[in-house]
Structure 1
Amino acid sequence: MARSMLVAAVAAAALLPQLALGQTIDDGSDSVTAATNETVAPAVQTVDPSSSDLDADYFEFESAQLTPEVIANLTSLNLTDASVFDFADAEAAARKRSSLSGKCRVLPGDKAWPSTILWVLLDLLTGGALIKGVPSASVCYEDWPNYDAAKCAVVTANWTTPQYQMNEPTGVDFPVFEGVSCVPPSIARTGADCTLGGYASYVLNVTNVAQIQLALNFARNLNLRVAVKNKGHDFNAKNTGAGALSIWTHHLQDMRYIKSYSTSEYTGPAIKIGAGVQAQKVYEYADSLGLQVVGGIARTVGIGGGYIAGGGHSPLSSVYGMAADQVLAMEAVLPDGTFVSVDETHNTDLFWALRGGGGSTYGVVTSLVIRAYPKAPVTTLTYSFSTSDTVDSDTFWAGVDVFWATFPAIADLGHYRYFTLLCSSADSCSFSMGPHWANAMTTAQLQATVAPFFANLTSLGINVTDAVYTTYDGVYNAFINTFPASTEVVGGWSYHTGSRLFPRSNWADASKLATQSSVIKQAAIDAGMMIGYNIKSATNAKVNQDNAVNPAWRATLMHAMLGATWGSDATPADIAASSKTLTERLQTWRDASPGAGAYLNEADANEPDWQQSFYGDNYDRLYALKQRYDPWGLFYAPTAVGAEDWNVTGQIAYYPTQNGRLCHV
């Protein structure tokens, strides 16, 4: 039978196999066999784990690959429509790139939209990994066939937790730029309905490399939009897209300790992680080995997703550099469907681009090898001060100026500070430090470090009485106690943020620092809140920092964020107006930091000159690599490299969503 002639299966497929009867296999015996989960095994070949080009074996899920031999086998069996899974030739496609002009991705209902039979074939060949895209909140709407009041209560109760959203195939943490197509009625605007909108039409629940390859080949050959979701954390919903086939990497969660990994710059401990491993898990794993790694402060962020792709700032960045700097090697599936190893000697241009050049651009990373460091103690400090009967507005802001003055010295000690400014009016503001994170310091050492700062506040009449110092044995315990899960609230759509990286040079010039202080003060008063990080990207000779991280990071001392909010019944026009105001407020920050930039993972979706702001002088090289490796424009995300070549239809100014048709300009 044909099944025995296919390459060994890794799982059984089971989604509506009867719909595949339109697909057939010629088994070579003058008869035709219906293609079902009984006759078609997943299209996969298991390769030797040691065949990776890297100094680290493949994970088991990476050994399951789609190879040219598998494609040839499908073709030799005369499987109907097997050609939709063929690999591509990027160089040949690049020569024909002009044919993309005016071309749009297909949407459901289009004549060219794949038939149900084709979708079932994809499901069969991926071992039953395909999921029909359905918004999880649709159970709350009576006009949806899956309406269920009891399930709606569960969805509503869990909606604001990132753990819920990361486990939902279509879940995203910040739905405003998806288009707010389907959220629970309790947080929806009055009279809102539920549509698929910018959520993916289909989701591939990835558990091996072959599935990614099949999906990308399928999408490329059939002119489908592709989205990539890891945990769904992206601020600007880059992981969504109307009509998309979404590659969901959440379940690629393998981890492996490598006692000694060698590169030209480094020999020592490393950890290989699957792309779906979240921050808390890798911190915990490293801690169990007496190690620590560079990662973010949100528990559910996928370290190997957009976080590292965008650079990745961390409480350890002032000591070791950006998270992208720690990557020693990667494995990835490219737009042409091939699976490649990437490091400083293999696919070196991709090694440069994938570390900081942005996600959803050059391929789907399946695993990374990241440098690990010896575990070291951490001491944290929290405190606050505010306007009061004894501290007027001028005094409060004088205290904030004292705080600004400490930035260079604190960052150069390898510390990290995360703080908030809140203002209900020009005369009522508060400052909250949460926390000052002191790497490799004891409580006594940190107290001595900040004593001059507190003395300066006292001299102004600002008495800090709530300072709390806590020393932890390492990053993991500091992380889980300083950033509790209860503080991570997602799922809302009544706000968005923008940001700016303020350069060290502003602190070297009193006039520039005064201007910076003034514009931050006014923005905090006008917007009501400002969040900031005192941080630098440390120079680290033990890792390869020749990468695509925004050069602005190498010169920064502060990553600052500003927000915009609107009411629960805000219309798209209201959101656009509020977003426009945010962009205009941020212009004062841009003017106070000429030539700097912004952190692309936490930035204004309407950032003017985003190519320069997010990528700096790296952009031209990144764009050239985009055309070389993805001449089809298979990977698209707003403000990703090459995004200027595409347009989502039906947009209104200052409110870009992903619920329209994606067309090449």
Structure 2
Amino acid sequence: MARLATVVALSLAGLALAQTLEDGTEVTQDNIAPAVETVEDASASSYFPYELEQLTPDVLSNLTNYNLSNVDLFTFSEDGLTKRASRACKTYPGDWNWPSRPIWNLLNILLGGALIESVPTAAPCYSDWPQYDEAKCASITSQWETPSYQSSQPLGIQYYAFEGVSCLPPTLTRTGANCTLGGMPSYVVKATNVAQIQLSVNFARNNNLRLIVKNKGHDFKAKSTGSGALSIWTNSLDSIQYLGPNFYHTVSGYKGPAFKIGAGVTALPLYQKADSLGLHVVGGNTRTVGLGGGYTAGGGHSPLSSLYGMAADQVLAMEVVLPNGFFVSVDAKHYPDLFFALRGGGGSTWGIVTSLIIRAYPKKPVATLSYSFGISADVPTETFWNGVYAVLAKFPEYADKGMYSYWSLSCFFDCSFAMAPQWGNNMDSAALKNLSAPLFDELQSLGITVSDAVYTDFDGVLQGIEGTWSAESEQGGIWNFNTGSRLFPRSNWDVEPTEFAANTGSVIRAAAEKAGLMLGYNIKAADNPTVNQTNAVNPAWRKTVLHALLGATWSQEATPEDIAAANKNLADMLQPWRDATPGSGAYLNEADINENNFQGAFYGSNYAYLYQLKQKYDPWGLLWAPTAVGSEDWYVTGQIDYYPTQNGKLCPK
């Protein structure tokens, strides 16, 4: 850090900066060291190398000792966690106190060159941008709808509608669309160590900037975007460490196989690593989801959830940068309230997770079953729906067997039902066939013949994922749909079959017929005495056997008003599901951004406590995302009802 001794006067944010050293030399990355110190490992399970690179009080003290005049731009908060900070609209480009370019340049130097000034990913497709390049535009367009491409880009996200559709390749958006930065952040920090995250957190807090966190950008509602924001991009924190077959976690008392994973690890490489060791882990069926980001923070359902519980249940410990800038280890003993909130209390809310320790399980075989049936000349409408009700009636039994079923109802023309697939954990085809026989006999008695049933055996989760959902089936860069959902509790099944059909069955039927398509997961969050399930996962998950989803779609030529109307219609279609499931909720990672009473729907009885924790750990409102805990205290300017984009300034209510 000795080179920082030569830095001279730094002005107040937004004003001029003397960009020379004592000898008159211009300040550059060549003569100013990054603000980082390599610390000794203080973690019970060992830090990753990138976690040893930290911003420490000693580093900041060194800046002060050498007369760096405005160290307060980068310092930690020493006010304590319980003091509520005064709030104002987040500083926005064009405001008098927006940091000047020299200030951003200095931040970049202290970050070691990790700061990216934002340019829309599709800018090469627009002639009014200096990046215009027809060949590059063609390449971007060809890759645009793949999650791997979107996650590789500083501003890439999977779903663009609620960012504001500000810059898409012209062939994929409405006629005459232009390209603006819109709801995207102004700057991105490509984080490769903890010090960069700490410095960014402190800089954003001390300058009252909007701060967002993006891992893979795999969020239906583009919650990792925000106009005028500073974005911390954790995509590169992708280390995986196997802690051994007999890892002992002293706090929880857990002894067994476990992994330490970086926040940027996606499902597929972890599945591959676990499989090579004869293990599997609780993760999603989408291979490109970042397990340590919003997936686990929001609860995280999995093909293994009916056996082992939610992804959030598997976490033994975490390393986290807090909103005050300090880097801490979190588990059931250290910051237990924060440990509670980080597991199910929502992403981009409590801090920036850099790594997690999660438990693993012995690898078990998987058998899958796919089949379909539909309305036809031989299967009239009412017979078809009685067949659907027969399938639905099996959901408590199937979930209790540790199964996971992904199915759909399509009613764009004549209605059809597709199981794609039913997933039998620790089963082979013979066992799955025996389990399914009573259902198929019942369908046969109704006059429904299932002739396309396909049973497949896999040796474990990895082979099951790769053999069931292709990489090509995953999409990214989409902007013309929105999803809403509801968790249907087991109690809806604790009635006579006729009552079930009249209540639960009828509202599912009505929604599918009106929307044209619905998706569902027969799943439960299993009780698991080997993990800590005292966490912020929506309590509704502990009672559910069906996670059901509806969608709203709109055309490529849709206007903001058209999108708002489609979303209003979705909200209306979801109301009968809410009425049929009083006291239940919805899965916040796959729910409607316009959800009525999101506090109760997404967090249930945990919300009041979580709101208190939000004020304790983030009194500044530094971390904000739509429908996150405490989000009701803020609003984004320029919103349209039912189309709440991120294309505006964030202000307190």
TM-score between both structures, scaled by the size of structure 1: 0.94
Q: Report if the CA contact (8 A) 1:325-1:355 is conserved.
A: yes
Q: Does the CA contact (< 8 Å) of 2:299 and 2:343 recur in 1?
A: yes
Give 1:264 shift.
Answer: 3.0
CA distance in 1, matches of 2:649, 2:500: 44
2:446 match: 460
Tell me the CA shift for residue 91 of structure 1. Answer: 2.6
- Tell me the secondary structure at the aligned position of residue 170 of structure 2: coil
Secondary structure of 1:177 counterpart: coil
Letter in 2 for 1:379: A
Taking the TM superposition and a 5 Å limit, the aligned residue runs for 1:58-457 are 58-91=47-80, 94-97=82-85, 99-100=86-87, 103-259=88-244, 260-262=247-249, 263-425=251-413, 428-457=414-443
Shift of residue 79, structure 1, vs aligned partner: 2.6
The residue identity in structure 1 corresponding to 2:614 is K
CA contact (8 A) 1:20 1:34 kept: no
Shift of 1:516: 1.2
RMSD of aligned C-alpha atoms? 1.6
Query: 1:300 deviation in Å?
Result: 0.8
For the residues of structure 2 that align with 1:462 and 1:225, how far apart are their CA atoms?
56
Distance in 2 (CA, whole Å) between partners of 1:315 and 1:39 is 52
Call closer, same or farther: CA 1:190–1:543 in 2, change over 3 Å: same
Question: Would you say the 8 A contact 1:2–1:25 is kept in 2?
Answer: no
Among residues 469, 475, 488, which one is paired with 2:455 in the alignment?
469
TM-score by length of 2: 0.96
Deviations 1:400-443 (A, max 9, x none): 00001100110000000000110014xx0111111101000011
- Alignment length, in residue pairs? 641
Whether the 8 Å contact between 1:649 and 1:660 is mirrored in structure 2 is yes
Q: Hey, what's the Cα distance between the residues in 2 that align with 1:464 and 1:160?
A: 35
Q: CA deviation at 1:23?
A: 3.5
Residue number in structure 1 paired with 2:36: 44
Residues 155-183 of structure 1: per-residue CA shift (max 9 Å, x gap): 11011000000000001100000000011
The Cα of 1:44 is off from its aligned counterpart by 0.5
Deviation at 1:90, TM superposition (A): 4.8
What is the one-letter code of the residue matched to 1:128? G
Give the distance between the partners of 1:148 and 1:550, measured in 2 at CA. Answer: 47
Contact 1:501/1:597 (8 A) holds in 2: yes
Report deviation, 1:33. Answer: 5.7
Counterpart residue identity of residue 229, structure 1: K
Q: Distance in 2 between matches of 1:127 and 1:213?
A: 13
Structure-2 separation of matches of 1:588 and 1:265: 45
Deviations 1:593-638 (A, max 9, x none): 0000000000001000000000000001100000000000000000
For residues 292 and 90 of structure 1, the distance between their equivalents in structure 2, rounded to whole angstroms, comes to: 44
For the residues of structure 2 that align with 1:96 and 1:420, how far apart are their CA atoms? 47
- Tell me, yes or no, if the aligned pair for 2:51 and 2:194 is still in contact at 8 Å: yes
For residues 477 and 380 of structure 2, the distance between their equivalents in structure 1, rounded to whole angstroms, comes to 37
Distance of 1:305 and 1:490 partners within structure 2: 17
CA contact (8 A) 2:307 2:402 kept: yes
Q: Residues 349-371 of structure 1, C-alpha deviation per residue, up to 9 Å, x if partnerless?
A: 11110000000111000000000
Cα distance per residue 1:363-407 (max 9 Å; x no partner): 000000000000111111111111112111111111100001100
* 3-state SS of 1:136 partner: coil
Give the superposition deviation at 1:95. Answer: 3.3
- Cα offset, 1:83, TM superposition: 2.2
* Whole-Å separation in 2 of the counterparts to 1:141 and 1:159: 15
Q: Distance between the aligned counterparts of 1:43 and 1:580, measured in 2?
A: 48
Are 1:494 and 2:469 an aligned pair?
Answer: no
Distance change in 2, residues 1:42/1:69 (3 Å): same
- What is the aligned partner in structure 2 of residue 23 from structure 1? 19
- In structure 1, what is the Cα distance between the partners aligned to 2:79 and 2:617? 6
The residue type equivalent to 1:120 in the other structure is N
* Separation in structure 2 between the aligned mates of residue 185 and residue 474 of structure 1, nearest angstrom: 42
Q: Following TM superposition, by how much is the alpha carbon of 1:187 offset from its aligned partner in structure 2, in angstroms?
A: 1.4
Does residue 521 of structure 2 align to residue 529 of structure 1? no
- Mapped contact 1:23–1:79 kept (Cα < 8 A): no
Q: Distance in 2 between matches of 1:305 and 1:248?
A: 11
Matched, 1:625 2:621: no
Structure 2 letter corresponding to 1:3: R
Match of 2:591 among 578, 600, 603: 603
Rounded to whole Å, the distance in 1 between the matches of 2:230 and 2:391 is 48
Unaligned ranges ≥5, structure 2: 7-14
Pick aligned residue for 1:478 from 464, 470, 480: 464
Note the C-alpha offset of 1:289. Answer: 1.1
Inter-CA distance 391–210: structure 2 relative to 1 (3 Å threshold): same
Instruction: Write the distance in 2 (CA, Å) between the matches of 1:619 and 1:278.
Output: 29
Structure 1 SS opposite 2:122: helix
- What is aligned with 1:56? 45
Secondary structure at 2:487 match in 1? strand
Deviates more, 1:509-518 or 1:279-288: 509-518
Rounded to whole Å, the distance in 2 between the matches of 1:70 and 1:81 is 14
Spell out the pairing of 1:509-548 with structure 2 (5 A cutoff): 509-510=495-496, 511-512=499-500, 514-548=502-536
- For the residue of structure 2 that corresponds to 1:175, the secondary structure is coil
Deviation of 1:80 after TM superposition, in Å, equals 4.5
